[in-house]
């Protein structure tokens, strides 16, 4: 799903409008069982899912869930921030039963407004506790990591930076691209605020602004690096693999690098799903979340072209992906918050309107 600066617009609405809201391993039973308990009794019902996740993967998950349970999935895909704001505007009249987001901040925002129902304990127990809401209001489904994409053979590739902080230094002027309106970029900014402080994070963003060309989306940025239009950029890891699949390996002229473990740029983030408290189909919605945290769904994610990391212990992602624990640990959900601090700094530095 293409996401561009509309992500920032949606996030701004969620954060500041009058109606608005003031990211493996181990072993387990990964058999073909799911957590959608009593799902057979729900046959014939419909569950409405507002999804900010990658549409092709969610469609595959929805189709498998429908086949297993007989529950029809009404899927509404869009930008996660815009969908969260839509839920706020719709209030108790919202047709949404489930909200499925790419990043924790949108979920946290709805959680803080008291709009989410507690997830069934058996669903939460399926994935590592740190990958879900500390309050138990949403469950982690998959993970991704920030990464550094560099044009093959260029200096950014042969001598990549160990820290994302380095990208604000003068030597990177004119060599970088960034997509500041992507909802995937904001958590990196939040991580910088938490590790280095607001002042340092603002100075870092000012350095990025001086050094980089801006793009509307990670897809556009990845394509620009591959064409040599810019030397490098910060993206989420899976955009490289999707670019490679689209272009073929022979036409891919970029390489993926990772920042040093513990660096703010070594961000591991989760996608998660929640049941809306005022949803009309609570049992079917809980069954869908149970399914997302089960082996069948996690195997769909593991084999899909989304190139995300499944979270269920015992289910492995695609073989070409480096082990997640070699890159970093899942970011603390509380540290990521609702994204307001990151949005403010992006606006204050002129990277977003």
Instruction: Name the average pLDDT for the chain.
Output: 89
| DSSP code per residue over 219-240 | HHHHHHHHHTSSSEEEEETHHH
Closest Cα to residue 116, out of 104, 125, 127, 126? 104
Exposed/middle/buried for residue 200 (C-beta within 10 Å: 0-12, 13-18, 19+): middle
Question: CA 137 from chain center: how many Å?
Answer: 17
Kindly report the pTM of this predicted structure: 0.86
pLDDT value for 163: 97
How many angstroms separate the CA atoms of 58 and 215, rounded? 26
In this model, does residue 102 exceed pLDDT 50?
yes
**Residue 330: DSSP 8-state:** B
In this model, does residue 61 exceed pLDDT 90?
yes
At what angle are helices 295-303 and 55-69 packed, to 10 degrees?
150
How many angstroms separate the CA atoms of 321 and 263, rounded? 20
Q: Is 303 in a helix, a strand, or coil?
A: helix
pLDDT value for 39: 53
In degrees and rounded to multiples of 5, residue 100 shows phi and psi of: -120, 110
- Taken in order 345, 346, 351, 353, the sign of the CA dihedral is negative
Per-residue pLDDT reduced to its tens digit, 124-160 = 999 999 999 999 999 999 999 999 999 999 999 999 9
pLDDT value for 178: 97
**Residue 166: DSSP 8-state:** G
Closest Cα to residue 35, out of 271, 269, 330, 273? 273
In this model, does residue 29 exceed pLDDT 60?
no
Please state the rounded mean pLDDT for residues 169-188: 94
Q: Which residues contact 153 (CB under 8 A, 6 or more apart)?
A: none
In this model, does residue 167 exceed pLDDT 70?
yes
pLDDT value for 329: 84
Q: Which residues contact 151 (CB under 8 A, 6 or more apart)?
A: 157, 225, 226, 228, 230, 231, 232, 253, 254
Measure the N-to-C terminal CA separation of the chain; round to a whole number of Å: 23
At 40, the pLDDT band (50, 70, 90 cuts) reads low
At 321, the pLDDT band (50, 70, 90 cuts) reads very high
């Amino acid at each position: 799903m293409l996401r561009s600066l509309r992500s920032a617009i949606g996030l701004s609405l969620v954060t500041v409008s009058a109606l608005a809201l003031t990211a493996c391993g181990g072993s387990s039973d990964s058999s073909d069982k799911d957590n959608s308990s009593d799902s057979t009794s729900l046959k014939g019902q419909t569950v409405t899912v507002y999804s900010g996740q990658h549409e092709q993967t969610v469609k595959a998950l929805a189709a498998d869930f429908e086949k297993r349970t007989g529950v029809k999935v009404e899927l509404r895909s869009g930008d996660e921030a815009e969908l969260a704001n839509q839920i706020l505007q719709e209030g108790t009249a919202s047709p949404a039963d489930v909200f499925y987001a790419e990043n924790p901040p949108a979920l946290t925002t709805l959680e803080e407004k008291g709009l989410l129902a507690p997830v069934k304990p058996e669903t939460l127990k399926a994935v590592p506790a740190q990958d879900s809401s500390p309050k138990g209001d949403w469950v982690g489904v998959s993970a991704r990591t920030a990464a550094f994409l560099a044009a093959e053979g260029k200096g950014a590739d042969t001598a990549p930076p160990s820290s994302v902080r380095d990208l604000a230094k003068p030597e990177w002027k004119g060599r970088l691209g960034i997509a500041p309106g992507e909802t995937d970029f904001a958590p990196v900014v939040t991580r910088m605020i938490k590790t280095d402080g607001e002042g340092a994070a603002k100075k870092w963003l000012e350095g990025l602004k001086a050094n980089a060309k801006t793009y509307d989306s990670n897809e556009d940025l990845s394509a620009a690096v591959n064409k040599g239009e810019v030397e490098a950029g910060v993206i989420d890891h899976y955009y490289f693999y999707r670019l490679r699949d689209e272009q073929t390996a022979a036409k891919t002229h970029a390489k993926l690098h990772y920042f040093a473990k513990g660096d703010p740029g070594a961000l591991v983030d989760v996608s998660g799903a929640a049941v809306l408290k005022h949803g009309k189909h609570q049992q079917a919605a809980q069954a869908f979340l149970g399914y997302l945290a089960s082996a069948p769904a996690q195997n769909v994610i593991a084999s899909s072209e989304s190139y995300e990391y499944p979270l269920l212990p015992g289910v492995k992602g695609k073989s070409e992906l480096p082990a997640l624990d070699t890159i970093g640990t899942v970011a603390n959900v509380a540290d990521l918050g609702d994204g307001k601090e990151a949005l403010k700094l992006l606006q204050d530095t002129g990277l977003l309107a």
